[in-house]
Amino acid sequence: MNKLVKLKLSAKTEKPDIDEVVKTLKNNRKVYEKLWIEQKPDEIKN
């Protein structure tokens, strides 16, 4: 989250490092998928 905020700030002032952006997006996707997978069984129970 902190990295993402920094990227947004740097995007306003200078060109962001594309590798960093891609890396952050991939990490966020992994976290999101992990959360989604963890929540899925609860949804199935209900």
**DSSP per residue, 1-46:** -HHHHHHHHHHHHS---HHHHHHHHHHHHHHHHHHHHHHHHHHHH-
Q: How sure is the predictor about 3, in pLDDT bands with cuts at 50, 70 and 90?
A: confident
CB 16 within 8 A of CB 10: yes
pLDDT at res. 42: 64
Instruction: List the Cα angle 9/33/20 in 5-degree steps.
Output: 30
pLDDT at res. 10: 58
Q: Determine if the pTM surpasses 0.75.
A: no
pLDDT at 45 over 70: no
Q: Retrieve residue 43's tokens.
A: 């949804």
| Structure confidence by residue, pLDDT tens digits, 15-43 | 667 888 889 889 888 888 888 777 766 66
Alpha-carbon torsion, ordered 31, 37, 41, 46, to 10 deg: 70
